[in-house]
Amino acid sequence: MRTPASILCLCLAAIPSAAHTRPAQPPAKTHRMERVAENVYCISGEGGNVGLVVTDKFAVLIDAQFDHTLPGLRDAIRSVTSKPIKYLINTHLHGDHTGGNRGMEGQGVAIVAHANVRKRLAEEQRGNPTEPQGGLPALTFGETDPQVKAQLNLFLGGTELQLLHYRAGHSDGDLLVSLPSAHVLHMGDLFLNGLLPFIDLPTGGSLAGLLENTEWVLSWLPAEAKVIPGHGPVASKADLLRYRDFLKAAQAHVQTHPGMTGAELSARFDRKAWPQFQELGKYLTWEGFFTMATGRMPVWD
């Protein structure tokens, strides 16, 4: 039986890039580079969106997609900088964001994540000893209690990166990466732009947590900020406000109809009012989203 994490990686791997297009036969190079701010880029392709920050001496990656996409990712990075990668930051545990860890680790890159990401990746590897091992974050911060807020600042020359954990939302190891001087924020899978949210309940995710994280971000995010989502095109604060409003509407709908199934909630919800939020195959559906919103995981074949 597939785990929720593996299901998530399977379905999110099929998400189109920020350009909303995919080649008919994906070659090794499937990455699209988008300049978000000076020396800050979003690299999209198969798997989660990768953030690239080029500092005075080094480069920093935010997520690394899959192991098999690393060659294309490296090519994309080399198209804008020859500086060595010093840090790889994992926004959360799922394989479409952490699968490239092992390959990057072999290049002497320091992998940084919330403490719960290392904990869960280590548990996953112990449970699958025949699968490739390694790539665990070497630098962690935060408490195993995901409700404890945490922050780690990286100062690389004139560039400051703020790694922020507010509380469990998509999972219990979520972190945001803020670049205050560039007005750029990478939100990982706390925010999927153009898709229904995915709530990983077994690893501590919840609809309330997604909403609280989003409300907190909006309380301090500059109006002109660019937001890199875990999947989908780079967004504005206005896009994130719309996402917040959707989460609030979904939460109110669930609370108004206690005891309803995901299918019943989905059928009664005004989907036409929220055209920005799309399904993805059989894994990210309206019924599945509302099932997760009630605190139950959908049943997949």
Q: What's residue 29's pLDDT?
A: 59
Say what the pLDDT of residue 213 is: 98
Mean pLDDT within 88-115: 95
Residues 269-278: what's their mean pLDDT? 96
Question: What percent of the chain stands above pLDDT 90?
Answer: 83
CA-based radius of gyration for the chain: 18
Q: Is the dihedral of CA 89, 49, 300, 242 positive or negative?
A: positive
- pLDDT tier, 176 (very low <50, low <70, confident <90, very high otherwise): very high
* CATH code given to domain 4-293: 3.60.15.10
**Residue 146 to residue 166: CA distance in whole angstroms:** 8
Per-residue confidence band for 248, with pLDDT thresholds at 50, 70 and 90? very high
pLDDT of residue 8: 58
The whole-number pLDDT of residue 25 equals: 44
Quote the pTM value. Answer: 0.92
pLDDT in tens, 186-240: 999 999 999 999 999 999 999 999 999 999 999 999 999 999 999 999 999 999 9
Q: At what angle do helices 237-256 and 286-293 cross, to 10 degrees?
A: 70
Specify the DSSP class assigned to residue 291: H
Tokens of 21: 């297009």
Greatest mean pLDDT among 29-33, 90-94, 106-110: 90-94
Does 18 score more than 80 pLDDT? Answer: no
pLDDT computed for residue 47 by the predictor? 93
pLDDT score of 27 more than 60? no
Q: Please state the rounded mean pLDDT for residues 65-73.
A: 95
Answer for the pair 111, 135: CB distance below 8 angstroms, yes or no.
yes
